[in-house]
Amino acid sequence: MTNELVLETLSAAADREAFIEEFINLPTACRAEPYRIGLQAPSSTKWLLNLSLAETREAWLAKRNGRVVGRLHANQSWTRNDVGYTGFYEVDLREADHANIAKELLDAASAWLEAQGCKDLYGPIDWCTWFSYRFMLPQDPARAHGRLCWWEPVNPPEFVAHWENAGFEVAEHYSSKPSEHGAGSSVAVTAELMKPAYDNAIAEGFVFRAFKLGEELLDEAPDLYAVNMAGFSGNFLFEPIPFEVYRATLTGLVGKIDLGMSYWVLAPDGKPAGYIYSFQDADYYVGKSLVVLPEYRSKALMPATGHLTLSECSKRGISTVISALMRQGNRSERLMRSADAHAESNWRHEYVLFGKELG
């Protein structure tokens, strides 16, 4: 028996299915509480790992004495040959030298992507930013934290140090910030402040319609896909994905999330102008995505939809309104500041996307 670390690759695996099974089961085998919150089901990881979004891809298993102690995946962007992504990251923190295991994996991915011609590497990203990406930064023990939530990246704090030690630096910064209104009536006050934008949109012929619920949500897939591809196309590291893949991701929402607080914005001609994807999570309102097509961005449709969602919060007695996973400085983050006028914010979760120059 030896404690030597061995890296195995998917491309060289004699039994591809066995490799994938070991790969997908590592997090559930080694993650400790509370960092199992929102942990992806092995079946979902297997579906993702079997996608063929990019021809240039590789995966690694780190093994010691035949036991899996780490994993990583890397792929080249399918729209920019000089950009690579690495994700599906996991290292068993029960190993005393987990930092060394991490560096072996991250160095292997960096070298492999550099050999493919990539000059810039970003992570953690599972394939692309349509799927799981970013790390949560370690929480300050002196501050209130709020609870960890299934809809945000939840990772052991050691993972951040692993990537920093491997030469990665912060490329983008994000946060989830609550507006804690106390009594539900103050949510109604903020909703009322947004009502003029809503009234103006109605006067101009815009229509607001709730998402379809249950299995009927899948009927919305073509319109959601079209708006996403156009509305997010200018975002950092945007990658188009096939419609069939996007539709499959929606099936994970059916029956699992209350989408009664999500709304379409329809233009006067009846075509989608944008939408807000938001939901209730226990006693939190979570504003997850808000997209407006470029040609309608001067119409104050963001605060108009805010009036609808915050009015529903008031009806439901929800006092904590969270702008979730907002990139610092983007339009949605600026909009959500308007909810702070009648509220406090006692905690904040922060997240980072790492980057690294290759060569």
Stretch among 60-64, 292-296, 320-324 having the lowest mean pLDDT: 320-324
Neighbours of 17 (CB within 10 A): 10
Which pLDDT value is given to residue 344? 58
Q: What are phi and psi of 66, to 5 degrees?
A: 80, -5
Chain centre distance of CA 233: 16
Cβ neighbours of residue 153 closer than 8 Å, sequence gap 6 or more? 38, 132, 133, 134, 135, 136, 351
Q: What is the pLDDT of residue 134?
A: 98
Average pLDDT on 1-21 reads: 93
Residue 210 pLDDT exceeds 80:
yes
127-180 pLDDT, tens digit per residue, is: 999 999 999 999 877 776 788 999 999 999 999 999 999 999 999 999 998 887
The predicted-structure confidence for 35-57, as pLDDT tens digits, reads as follows 999 999 999 999 999 999 999 99
Q: Mean per-residue pLDDT for 6-25?
A: 98
Question: Is the pTM here over 0.95, yes or no?
Answer: no
Locate 230 and state its tokens: 């156009």
Q: 3-state SS string over the chain? A: CCCCEEEEECCCCCCHHHHHHHHHHHHHHHCCCCCCCCCCCHHHHHHHHCCCCCCCEEEEEEEECCEEEEEEEEEECCCCCCEEEEEEEEECCCCCCHHHHHHHHHHHHHHHHHHCCCCEEEECECCCCCCCECEECCCCCCCCCCCCCCCCCCCCCHHHHHHHHCCCEEEEEEEEEEEECCCHHHHHHHHHHCHHHHHHHHHCCCEEEECCCHHHHHHHHHHHHHHHHHHCCCCCCCCCCCHHHHHHHHHCCCCCCCCCCCEEEECCCCCEEEEEEEEEECCEEEEEEEEECHHHCCCCHHHHHHHHHHHHHHHHCCCEEEEEEEECCCHHHHHHHHHHCCCECCCCEEEEEEEEECC
The whole-number pLDDT of residue 204 equals 97
More confident site: 341 or 38: 38
In this structure, what are the phi and psi dihedrals at residue 73, rounded to the nearest 5 degrees? -130, 150
Q: Does residue 347 surpass a pLDDT of 90?
A: no
> Band of the pLDDT at 319, cuts 50, 70, 90?
confident
On whether the CB atoms of residues 215 and 357 are closer than 8 A, the answer is no
Give the pLDDT band (50/70/90) at residue 342. Answer: very low
Identity (one letter) of the amino acid at 20? I
pLDDT at 180: 74
pLDDT at 127: 98
| The residue to which tokens 């319609």 are assigned | 209
Indicate the average pLDDT of the chain. Answer: 92
Is residue 183 predicted with pLDDT exceeding 90? no
- pLDDT score recorded for residue 252: 83
- Is the predicted pLDDT of residue 331 greater than 60, yes or no? no
Phi-psi region of 204 (alpha: psi -120 to 50; beta: other; left: phi over 0): alpha
Which pair of tokens denotes residue 16?
A: 């591809």
pLDDT band at residue 339 using 50, 70 and 90 as cut-offs? very low
More confident residue, 328 or 152: 152
pLDDT in tens, 94-127: 999 999 999 999 999 999 999 999 999 999 999 9
At 213-248, the pLDDT tens digits run 999 999 999 999 999 999 999 999 999 999 999 999
Q: Count CB neighbours of 327 within 10 A.
A: 17
Q: Which pLDDT belongs to residue 341?
A: 47
For the chain, domains (ranges, CATH) are: 5-176 (3.40.630.30), 182-342 (3.40.630.30)
